[in-house]
Every structure is written in structure tokens, then in C-alpha cells.
Amino acid sequence: MTDEKDLDLQYLIEKKRKEKEEKERLEREEWKRQERENQKREERKRKKR
């Protein structure tokens, strides 16, 4: 019985860890996307001058 509980716990811990990693990855991608947009905006501003 304990083995099963341990496995469940390990599974949940692993699942949480993966969810956290995925969330962080998505946040980094979003940040990079915003950075690119900001750079494009800056370039357009420079070209207008």
C-alpha cells in the first residue's frame, strides 16, 4: 500500500514540476515575443525620423 502511495506522490510531484517548467517556458517565450515586438516598434520609430 505504501508503495502505491509513494508512486502517486512521486507522480504528483513530477506532474507539478512539469507544469511549473511548462509555465516558465511559456513565460520566457512570451517575454521574448514582447522583446521582439518592442524592438520592431523602436526600429519603426527610428525609420520615421
Rounded mean pLDDT, 18-37? 99
Q: What size, in residues, is the chain?
A: 49
Domain boundaries, the chain: 24-49
Task: Note if the pTM is more than 0.75.
Answer: no
- In this model, does residue 49 exceed pLDDT 90? no
